[in-house]
Structure 1
């Protein structure tokens, strides 16, 4: 007996049987007939999505009390079964189990993961359009973490805009590079480096007076000491301006990070659509098109490492330029 056998599909109202092809919403776990899911194109159990809760079985507790659920395929088995009657997976004896039988939520998550790995569209209608592009093409381009992105992309195609992305909030340029959005990554990095200038000048204004005695003790040339002293005096003359500029730049950094965290998924959605639209115009076979989409899309950890190296190099060059400004001032 399947895990959803006896439950009702909220679209057609029919009871699920063992022979039915059942899929679940990757967000709330509501079960549907695959045909019903594809007909609607998305989960219609909006109250669960709005409340953040998960679907729960409506079966009486007595029906499932003596049922052993297979953690691999979700089939119900007699409590004393030694292996799954559907997929043949052997069950651990009670003394061998460390965490017990998976909860319904865990089983639904496992089912969603299995569905996502076998089907890049995660059970959605592959012919459905996302602002003119086939969902299957978009899924092949995204490739990694479709269970997270496709439901959000569906909301964007219906007018949604805001969706929190924590990696993009905390590490915007690295997230963008990881997702192969190089132009956006370099622009964000450049803006962040420019916003560091007032903060760096303020730090120099604070630290230079304490650093000058150390330079004298080390026997630094008098010309160098005079240059640093003159530069320190100029910074002191604009202390209030530097403080205000540093505060403003800090706030701007925070605001930019928040905006990228809120609109990062939307930015990625537009990037995916542009790339997919360009790639599907190529006159190639369906298999080649699928390979091209996955080659151009997905993620690349080396791009993240490259962005880290670029930012470190840019920071070093920036520091050298600041030092040159001091010496020539």
Structure 2
């Protein structure tokens, strides 16, 4: 479980179709606020609510604030921000305390945040929910579907949209740009690829957590070994306009984790408190930086040719001395 206000920032993409406006959705969520006097229950609140109530040992329930719509800025569209709460049953506590125990003691309060903005298509909204946990995603998806069905009977909620998937080739491109031209677009540069995972055709994983540099033998071999699948990768980019060095781990399904401790703003935003920094980081990642990075990938006319050829050549340069001394063939070479 993660929220914008504290802890790690895990995010999964979401797409919602609904015929109501962003403001109308926010007003409808205010009619379904979480009520801590009716445990167990579900409901909505504000992303600014006190997260102390979400600690495992917490018994009391919060008096929640209201979901609200944040104004458009120079870099982000209008966004609805809301916190979804639910009481998760604790079977062990129920066995220990009995069925007649205070439900606040046999149910743990859980929450994730929703950030939603209008998409290009009419009546469509895109954004994220702050979790990558499968059990939480299942619960949240059911809750969101129930809520939006009450708002608009024809609405739909998708947490597994194919248009958010990240191709394996993207991670190779990222490695290629890190090894060469790190300027991805105007005002956006790739600072580091800190780690990269891959999986071979037999589903055997390899993880390079101490640096994804093509000079590493394991990575060079992976580049030349088909049909390796790459991802996730942890990398950092610098956005000059945002005055932000953002580090995140991007997964193949489009979900990601922001590494808050390594993500730094310059200028006046450097001293943002954690509860505000999290909101700003997610806004900037979702609506500015990730779209820029993916656009740089899709519009790069040097990829896959000659970029991929150059990357394989670099990998062969790394492996050449090693395999030659052993009398073996380089993976991917004719006769290998």
Compute the TM-score of the two structures, normalised by the length of structure 2. Answer: 0.30
Higher strand share: 2
Larger radius of gyration: 1
